[in-house]
C-alpha cells in the first residue's frame, strides 16, 4: 500500500527470487486505460527484471475492474500459470457504484485465492480521484504494477515450497 512511509516501487531486490521458469498471467482492465496500462508496463518490466521470460508472461484485457475475477479464473484454466496478477483502477465518483465494484472485485479475487491452487495478486487501485491513481501508477508513490509483480514472484515461490 502506498503511504507517506512506503513507495509502491520500493523493495529490496535481493529478497525477490530469480524466476526464469515462472509463468505469470496478467489480466488488465481496459477502463481507466491510461492508468491500467501504466500498471501493466510496471508489472511486466518488474517480472522481466527478475528473470521471468517475456514468453512466459500472458496478458489479456477485460472491459473493466469488475470483470477481473472472471478473467483471472479463465486465465488460470487456459494458461496454467504459477501466479495471476489482476490490474485495475476504480476512481470514486458521486454514486455508490465505486463501493459495489470495489467490494465485488475484492471478494471475487479473495474467493479465487481460496479455490485455485495458485496465488491471484490484487493489483487494483481504489482511489478518491485520478490524481491519486496517477500518483500510484508510476507517479510519486511508485507503481502498483511493480508491487503486484514482486508479490506474484514471492507468492509463487511460497506456493512451490508448500507443495
All three cell numbers of 116? 485455485
Q: Which residue has the cell 531486490?
A: 13
6 lies in a domain? no
pLDDT over 90, % of the chain: 87
The pLDDT of residue 3 is 62
| H or E element, residue 96 | none
Q: What is the Cα–Cα distance from 46 to 59, expressed in whole angstroms?
A: 14
Q: pLDDT by residue (tens digit) across 104-163?
A: 999 999 999 999 999 999 999 999 999 999 999 999 999 999 999 999 999 999 999 998
123 lies in a domain? yes
The pLDDT of residue 103 is 96
The pLDDT of residue 65 is 97
- What domain count does the chain have? 1
9 lies in a domain? no
Please pick, among 50, 61, 78, 97, the residue that the annotation labels catalytic. 97
CATH number of the domain bearing residue 61 = 3.40.50.960
154 lies in a domain? yes
pLDDT above 70 (res 2)? no
| Active-site residue flag, 97 | yes
pLDDT above 80 (res 1)? no
11 lies in a domain? no
Nearest one of 13, 39, 20 to 146, comparing CA atoms: 39
Model pTM score: 0.95
Q: What is the Cα–Cα distance from 133 to 139, expressed in whole angstroms?
A: 9
Look over the chain and give the mean of its residue pLDDT values, rounded to a whole number: 95
151 lies in a domain? yes
Question: What's the domain range around 38?
Answer: 21-162
Q: pLDDT by residue (tens digit) across 23-75?
A: 999 999 999 999 999 999 999 999 999 999 999 999 999 999 999 999 999 99
All three cell numbers of 158? 511460497
13 lies in a domain? no
46 lies in a domain? yes
Amino acid at each position: 500500500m502506498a503511504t507517506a512511509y512506503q513507495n509502491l516501487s520500493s523493495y529490496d531486490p535481493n529478497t525477490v527470487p530469480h524466476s526464469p521458469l515462472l509463468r505469470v498471467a496478467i489480466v488488465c482492465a481496459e477502463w481507466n486505460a491510461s492508468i491500467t496500462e501504466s500498471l501493466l508496463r510496471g508489472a511486466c518490466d518488474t517480472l522481466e527484471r527478475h528473470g521471468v521470460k517475456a514468453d512466459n508472461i500472458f496478458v489479456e484485457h477485460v472491459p473493466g475492474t469488475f470483470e477481473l475475477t472472471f478473467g483471472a479464473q479463465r486465465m488460470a484454466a487456459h494458461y496454467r500459470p504459477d501466479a495471476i496478477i489482476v490490474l485495475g483502477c476504480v476512481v470514486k465518483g458521486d454514486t455508490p457504484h465505486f463501493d459495489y465494484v470495489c467490494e465485488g472485485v475484492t471478494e471475487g479475487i479473495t474467493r479465487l485465492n481460496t479455490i485455485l491452487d495458485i496465488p491471484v495478486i490484487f493489483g487494483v487501485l481504489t482511489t478518491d480521484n485520478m490524481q491519486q491513481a496517477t500518483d500510484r501508477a508510476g507517479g510519486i508513490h511508485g507503481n502498483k504494477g511493480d508491487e503486484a509483480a514482486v508479490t506474484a514472484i514471492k507468492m509463487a515461490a511460497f506456493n512451490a515450497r508448500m507443495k
